């Protein structure tokens, strides 16, 4: 059995120049300071992660609409037992708007969470399952308007299978693949695909 929840947090009052406190894990917090004026959701650039071949790696060479997509390997830091893992990083949109991404995985209960903290409009995906070995692919989508009033949509998919993914030796324990595709009007697709690896 798999339970899925997807939440979009609408804009809040007095959001500018506020401090956001992320989830606590092993006594370490992800702190986020954000100043926002426009509701925009995007995930485009990541610095300091390895690049490998993934689901859409073959598209990049022959289809210009996939030119802005990338595949990245992200190490999740875990507790000593390897039952609670987390990864945080900051991504930037084409307007240089910062977004905090938080990935969290627990084994008891078996649960995966993914937050995009944008400040003016946040969203979260939660997946709970009774059997970690049960394969799934779960997708959701949101629509929004950009700062120049163009219609935008973001598609998010979470997979716990790795068919078509080249898992490198430095990722001995792959956990999930999270794919984000961002569409603005009729422009090129932007986004990224992340392979989450649990690291003791």
The stretch 23-41 carries a mean pLDDT of: 29
Residue 149 or 31, more confident:
149
Is residue 53 within 8 A of residue 175, CB to CB? The reply is no
pLDDT range class, residue 84, cuts 50, 70, 90: very high
Rounded Cα gap, residues 42 and 194, in angstroms: 14
Which pLDDT belongs to residue 136?
86
Distance of CA 118 to the CA centre of its chain: 12
Return the percentage of the chain with pLDDT > 90, whole number: 14
pLDDT range class, residue 140, cuts 50, 70, 90: confident
Which pLDDT belongs to residue 5?
56
pTM > 0.75 = no
pLDDT range class, residue 86, cuts 50, 70, 90: very high
The stretch 149-153 carries a mean pLDDT of: 79
The stretch 96-101 carries a mean pLDDT of: 78
Rounded to the nearest integer, the mean pLDDT of the chain is 68
Which pLDDT belongs to residue 93?
66
Peptide bond into 123 cis (omega under 30): no
The stretch 159-174 carries a mean pLDDT of: 88
Rounded Cα gap, residues 8 and 20, in angstroms: 17
DSSP assignment letter at 59? H
């Amino acid at each position: 059995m798999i339970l899925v929840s997807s939440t979009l947090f609408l804009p809040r009052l007095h959001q500018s120049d506020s401090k956001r406190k992320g989830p606590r894990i092993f006594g370490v917090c992800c702190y986020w300071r954000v100043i926002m004026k426009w509701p925009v959701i995007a995930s485009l650039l990541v610095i300091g992660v390895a690049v490998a071949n993934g689901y859409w790696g073959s598209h990049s060479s022959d289809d210009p609409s996939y030119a802005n997509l990338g595949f990245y390997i992200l190490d999740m830091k875990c507790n000593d037992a390897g039952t609670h893992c987390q990864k945080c990083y900051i991504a930037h949109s084409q307007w240089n708007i910062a977004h905090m991404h938080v990935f969290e995985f627990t084994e008891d209960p078996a649960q995966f969470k993914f937050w995009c903290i944008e400040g003016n409009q946040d969203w979260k995906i939660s997946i709970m399952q009774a059997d970690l070995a049960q394969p799934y692919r779960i997708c959701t989508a949101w629509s929004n308007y950009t700062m120049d009033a163009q219609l935008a949509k973001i598609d998010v998919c979470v997979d716990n299978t790795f068919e078509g993914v080249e898992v490198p030796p430095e990722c001995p324990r792959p956990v999930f693949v999270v794919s984000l595709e961002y569409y603005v009007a009729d422009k090129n697709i932007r986004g990224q695909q992340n392979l989450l690896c649990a690291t003791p």
